[in-house]
């Protein structure tokens, strides 16, 4: 076990519950479970997951029952919610540094940085934006690319 703690973002959590056939996502989740890795996220995780699932419903790609079942599954995942006094200020700084379109993703970056843990995401845009500066941000399914930079 290389690191006993890893941060995960909402994009990855949503994929865990709505893409059971995604081998990269499900394989990474199984690896963490098998190695006893604790997972962490900032307090906004449940809100972002809820919104993402609702957007699937609004787009017509999920039924209301599937949204509710997926939300129940997501909220039951063993993810520790962490925060600290400077989280929001650090998130703003990171959002500005990387010219992110919103500060939500920066909260995951800030928490991972504070905890000294890797951040795992399924968000290609975020990964490609920060990969050259933040080597501890990893894109699920592209481990070799995630470790470069």
Give the pLDDT confidence score for residue 25 in this predicted structure. Answer: 96
Give the pLDDT confidence score for residue 3 in this predicted structure. Answer: 52
Q: What are phi and psi of 7, to 5 degrees?
A: -95, 145
- Name the fold adopted by 5-146: Rossmann fold (3.40.50)
The rounded distance, in Å, linking the Cα atoms of 20 and 51 is 20
Which of 16, 42, 143, 56 minimizes the C-alpha distance to 94?
A: 42
Which of 125, 126, 131, 122 minimizes the C-alpha distance to 106?
A: 126
Annotate 74-95 with DSSP letters as a single string. Answer: HHHS-EEE---TTHHHHHHHHH
The rounded distance, in Å, linking the Cα atoms of 101 and 50 is 20
Give the pLDDT confidence score for residue 125 in this predicted structure. Answer: 96
Neighbouring CB atoms inside 10 A of 73's CB total 13
From first to last of the 149 residues of the chain, give the pLDDT tens digit.
Answer: 455 999 999 999 999 999 999 999 999 999 999 999 999 999 999 999 999 999 999 999 999 999 999 999 999 999 999 999 999 999 999 999 999 999 999 999 999 999 999 999 999 999 999 999 999 999 998 653 333 33
Give the pLDDT confidence score for residue 141 in this predicted structure. Answer: 80
For residue 9, the 8-state DSSP code is -
Give the pLDDT confidence score for residue 26 in this predicted structure. Answer: 95
Give the pLDDT confidence score for residue 1 in this predicted structure. Answer: 45
């Amino acid at each position: 076990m290389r690191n006993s703690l890893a941060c995960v973002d909402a994009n990855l959590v949503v994929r865990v519950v709505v893409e059971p056939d995604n081998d990269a996502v499900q394989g990474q989740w199984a690896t963490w479970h098998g190695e006893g890795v604790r997972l962490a996220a900032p307090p906004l995780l449940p809100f972002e997951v809820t919104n993402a699932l609702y957007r699937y419903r609004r787009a017509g790609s999920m039924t209301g029952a599937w949204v509710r079942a997926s939300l129940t599954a997501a909220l039951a995942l063993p993810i520790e919610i962490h925060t600290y006094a400077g989280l929001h200020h650090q998130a703003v700084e990171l959002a500005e540094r990387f010219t992110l379109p919103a500060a939500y993703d920066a909260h995951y970056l800030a928490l991972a940085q504070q905890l000294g843990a890797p951040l795992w995401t399924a968000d290609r845009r975020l990964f490609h934006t920060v990969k050259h500066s933040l080597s501890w941000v990893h894109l699920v399914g592209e481990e070799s690319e995630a470790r470069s930079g």
